[in-house]
């Protein structure tokens, strides 16, 4: 075994499963952090069929419920004393409007706030790891995203795609701001972002919502299979030439598909004032304080 440990959120299907497959094959201890433990156990058995010597654990984690984030970290800490790699992969896309138990809009809560809290709580264990990294998944949808600080809970109006884009912009800004703060404070952990382009996954299947029949042919035409979509994540997690703060995506037209490469967001994306405000709002919302200035 490599003795390296990776946590992958949403590891039971789609991009998360393909990422877990790679790291199980690379002899990492793979922690599958999943919302549905039964599906997680089924995915684990599939991985063990491929890698009989694999070391794979399934833990319950619902990123939309902050209490379960704390429970997950406590459960993980009881069994493991360090962490080498955290992949913030799980996500929901275009659900009907709903608020979480804590009063947050579901996409912002699951895609951003849950991962923000998880990363902060795991940071002490990452610092004990070997060349530790955090990889947070964004999306090309971030390009149309705006952080609407006056309506984060969606109570003043909700459009699914607008709030999805907002959450994916938040993922990208968080990944960069985290790396900046880690470097300023002398941490060895680095933070990166990645996106899969347009990949055929079950991201559309939220609750009773399924991918419309007319979308599937377009996905095949414009997109790529999940195993290819996972490559930017794997590059962000393993490429030793990366220093932190980079954003990985496919190299094809519009970054929709292709081979993994470093993608440079347009100059106006990383607005320091927005990044710092998002950080403060996220600490306030989750009550997870990083102590990184």
Domain assignment present for residue 291? The answer is no
State residue 204's pLDDT score. Answer: 44
Domain assignment present for residue 74? The answer is yes
Print pLDDT tens along the chain (293 aa).
Answer: 568 999 999 999 999 999 999 999 999 999 999 999 999 999 999 999 999 999 999 999 999 999 999 999 999 999 999 999 999 999 999 999 999 999 999 999 999 999 999 999 999 999 999 999 999 999 999 999 999 999 999 999 999 999 999 999 999 999 999 999 999 999 999 999 999 988 665 554 444 445 555 555 555 555 678 889 999 999 999 999 999 999 999 998 777 788 999 999 988 999 999 999 999 999 999 999 999 99
Question: Which tokens is 4 given?
Answer: 């390296």
Residue 283 — φ and ψ, nearest 5°?
-60, -40
Place of tokens 């599939």: 46
State residue 11's pLDDT score. Answer: 98
Domain range for 258 is 5-286
Angstrom distance (rounded) from CA 258 to CA 183: 31
Burial of 217 (0-12, 13-18, 19+ CB in 10 A): exposed
Torsion angle (degrees, nearest 10) of CA 57, 62, 65, 69: 20
Angstrom distance (rounded) from CA 166 to CA 162: 6
State residue 208's pLDDT score. Answer: 44
Q: Which residues are catalytic?
A: 164
Domain assignment present for residue 123? The answer is yes
Angstrom distance (rounded) from CA 144 to CA 192: 21
Angstrom distance (rounded) from CA 269 to CA 275: 10
C-alpha triplet 163, 169, 173: angle, nearest 5°: 145
CATH code assigned at 93: 3.40.50.720
State residue 206's pLDDT score. Answer: 41
State residue 207's pLDDT score. Answer: 42
Radius of gyration of the chain (CA): 18
Interior/surface letters 229-244, b for 16+ CB within 10 angstroms, e for the rest:
bbbbbbbbbeeeebeb
Place of tokens 């909700």: 158
Count Cβ atoms below 10 Å from residue 268 Cβ, excluding itself.
6
C-alpha triplet 277, 162, 133: angle, nearest 5°: 55
Angstrom distance (rounded) from CA 16 to CA 88: 9
Domain assignment present for residue 293? The answer is no
Total number of domains constituting the chain? 1
Domain assignment present for residue 226? The answer is yes
Asked if residue 171 lies in contact with residue 191, where contact means CB atoms within 8 angstroms, the answer is: no
State residue 198's pLDDT score. Answer: 85
User: Considering all CA atoms of the chain, what is the largest pairwise distance in Å, rounded to the nearest integer?
Assistant: 52
HEC-encoded secondary structure of 158-175: CCHHHHHHHHHHHHHHHH
Count Cβ atoms below 10 Å from residue 262 Cβ, excluding itself.
16
Domain assignment present for residue 292? The answer is no
């Amino acid at each position: 075994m490599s003795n390296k440990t990776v946590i992958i959120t949403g590891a039971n299907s789609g991009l998360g499963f393909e990422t877990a497959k790679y790291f199980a094959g690379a002899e990492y201890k793979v922690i599958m952090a999943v919302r549905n433990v039964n599906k997680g156990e089924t995915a684990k058995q599939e991985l063990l069929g491929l890698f009989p010597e694999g070391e794979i654990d399934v833990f319950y984690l619902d990123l939309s419920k902050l209490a379960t984030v704390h429970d997950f970290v406590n459960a993980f800490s009881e069994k493991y004393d360090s962490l080498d790699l955290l992949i913030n992969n799980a996500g929901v896309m275009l659900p009907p409007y709903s608020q979480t138990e804590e009063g947050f809009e579901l996409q912002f809560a699951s895609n951003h706030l849950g991962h923000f809290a998880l990363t902060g709580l795991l940071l002490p264990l990452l610092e004990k790891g070997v060349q530790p990294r955090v990889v947070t998944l964004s999306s090309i949808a971030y390009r149309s995203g705006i952080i609407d600080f006056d309506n984060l809970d969606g109570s003043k109006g909700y459009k699914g795609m607008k709030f999805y884009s907002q959450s994916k912009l938040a993922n990208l800004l968080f990944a960069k701001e985290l790396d900046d703060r880690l470097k300023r404070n002398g941490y060895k952990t680095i933070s990166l972002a990645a996106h899969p382009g347009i990949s055929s996954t079950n991201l559309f299947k939220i609750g009773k919502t399924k991918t419309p029949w007319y979308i599937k042919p377009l996905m095949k035409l414009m997109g790529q299979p999940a195993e290819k979509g996972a490559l930017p994540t794997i590059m962000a997690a393993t490429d030793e030439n990366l220093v932190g703060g980079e954003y990985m995506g496919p190299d094809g037209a519009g970054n929709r598909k292709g081979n993994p490469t470093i993608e440079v967001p347009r100059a106006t994306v990383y607005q320091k004032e927005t990044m710092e405000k998002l950080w403060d709002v996220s600490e306030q919302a989750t009550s997870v304080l990083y102590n990184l200035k």
